[in-house]
């Protein structure tokens, strides 16, 4: 087994896995952007529904008052007629008292009706305003939704391409090495890391000199005893020159 070659393949594979992780994260996070607008739409819909039911109550109340007013006005007409026809002074006085009381009732009702009408008008105006905002918000939501879907489609396309590349990326990898990598990658990313200055760069633990020396030969797959990641020495795998340009 050419360990250097295996590590190179693994690093390329790991690069693809990093992209897969990133794109998957993006794909999951994109719909969250719609959450706030969706919440606003729901809240405003609730407000409008509440206002509509209040308007219905006010309308009902207004109709009842109108009927009551009509009834009293009829009564006033009848009392007037009775008064005109009355020949008894006592009866006239009694009718006059009833008429005064009915007129007062009618006047009070007219005041109440006026107030109710104003309240109904104000309510209607508020509903109109809120419905206009709601329409705007829904348009915005639809627009954002379309944009996010488009973006998601784009990310998904890239993700599919990377995944296809990843499928092909393990060509040349020893099955045992691949199995080991897949196992570590399932819970640690990155799972293949450099050892630098006697330390594992995955968990920062100082490696035993004996293990660190082994890395110089790059003849065997080595693992950090602390975090279990595969470790390698850049200069050993890629050659001294590349290592020096880094320093
Ligand atoms: Zn480690």
Averages of pLDDT over each 10 residues, the chain, 247 residues: 94 95 95 91 96 95 96 96 94 95 97 94 96 95 95 97 92 93 93 96 96 95 96 92 45
Whole domain around residue 59: which residue ranges?
27-167
What's the gap in Å between 190 CA and the centre of ligand 1? 11
CA 145, CA 130: separation in Å to the nearest integer? 22
What's the gap in Å between 221 CA and the centre of ligand 1? 14
What's the gap in Å between 201 CA and the centre of ligand 1? 7
What's the gap in Å between 191 CA and the centre of ligand 1? 9
133 with 198, same domain? no
241 with 132, same domain? no
Residue 234, judged by CB atoms within 10 A of its CB (0-12, 13-18, 19+), counts as middle
What's the gap in Å between 171 CA and the centre of ligand 1? 27
Instruction: Give the end of a domain, one of 167, 201, 219.
Output: 167
What's the gap in Å between 75 CA and the centre of ligand 1? 98
CA distances from 46 to 41, 113, 127, 130 (A): 9, 28, 12, 11
pTM over 0.75: no
Closest CA to 127 of 51, 57, 61: 51
What's the gap in Å between 230 CA and the centre of ligand 1? 8
DSSP-based three-state secondary structure for 231: strand
What's the gap in Å between 193 CA and the centre of ligand 1? 8
40 with 150, same domain? yes
162 with 187, same domain? no
How many structural domains compose the chain?
2
149 with 181, same domain? no
66 with 178, same domain? no
CA 60, CA 239: separation in Å to the nearest integer? 89
What's the gap in Å between 18 CA and the centre of ligand 1? 18
14 with 63, same domain? no
What's the gap in Å between 26 CA and the centre of ligand 1? 28
DSSP state of 194: E
Query: Residues 35-66: pLDDT tens digits?
Result: 988 999 999 999 999 999 999 999 999 999 99
DSSP-based three-state secondary structure for 195: strand
Max Cα distance, the chain (Å) = 133
What's the gap in Å between 23 CA and the centre of ligand 1? 26
Instruction: Give the end of a domain, one of 167, 185, 212.
Output: 167
CA 199, CA 185: separation in Å to the nearest integer? 20
144 with 210, same domain? no
Q: What is the pLDDT at residue 241?
A: 56
Give me the CATH number covering residue 227: 1.10.287.1490
Q: 167: cis peptide before it, omega within 30°?
A: no
Within 10 A of 4 (CB to CB), how many other CB atoms are there? 15
150 with 233, same domain? no
DSSP-based three-state secondary structure for 230: strand
Matching residue, tokens 């968990």:
203
Specify whether the CB–CB gap between 7 and 225 falls below 8 A.
no
Within 10 A of 14 (CB to CB), how many other CB atoms are there? 20
What's the gap in Å between 19 CA and the centre of ligand 1? 22
Angle CA 189–193–194, to nearest 5: 160
Within 10 A of 17 (CB to CB), how many other CB atoms are there? 22
What's the gap in Å between 180 CA and the centre of ligand 1? 15
160 with 38, same domain? yes
Instruction: Give the end of a domain, one of 117, 144, 167.
Output: 167
66 with 8, same domain? no
Specify whether the CB–CB gap between 187 and 195 falls below 8 A.
no
115 with 66, same domain? yes
What's the gap in Å between 172 CA and the centre of ligand 1? 26
What's the gap in Å between 6 CA and the centre of ligand 1? 19
Q: What is the pLDDT at residue 155?
A: 97
């Amino acid at each position: 087994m050419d360990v250097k070659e295996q590590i190179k393949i693994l690093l390329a594979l790991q690069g693809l896995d990093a992209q897969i992780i990133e794109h998957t994260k993006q794909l999951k996070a994109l719909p969250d952007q719609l959450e706030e607008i969706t919440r606003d739409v729901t809240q405003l819909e609730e407000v409008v529904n509440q206002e509509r039911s209040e308007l219905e109550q006010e309308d009902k109340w207004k109709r009842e008052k109108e009927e009551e007013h009509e009834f009293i006005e009829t009564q006033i007409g009848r009392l007037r007629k009775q008064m005109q026809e009355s020949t008894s002074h006592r009866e006239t006085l009694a009718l006059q008292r009833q008429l005064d009381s009915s007129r007062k009732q009618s006047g009070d009702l007219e005041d109440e009706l006026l107030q109710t009408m104003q309240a109904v008008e104000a309510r209607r105006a508020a509903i109109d305003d809120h419905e206009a905002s709601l329409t705007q918000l829904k348009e915005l939501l639809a627009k954002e939704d379309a944009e996010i879907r488009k973006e998601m489609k784009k990310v998904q396309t890239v993700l599919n391409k990377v995944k296809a590349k990843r499928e092909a990326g393990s060509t040349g990898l020893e099955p045992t090495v691949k199995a080991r990598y897949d196992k570590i990658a399932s819970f640690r990313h990155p799972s293949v890391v450099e050892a630098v200055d006697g330390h594992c760069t995955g968990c920062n633990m100082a490696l035993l000199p004996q293990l660190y020396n082994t890395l110089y030969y790059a003849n065997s797959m080595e693992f950090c005893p602390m975090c279990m990641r595969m470790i390698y020495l850049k200069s050993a795998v890629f050659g001294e020159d590349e290592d020096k340009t880094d320093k």
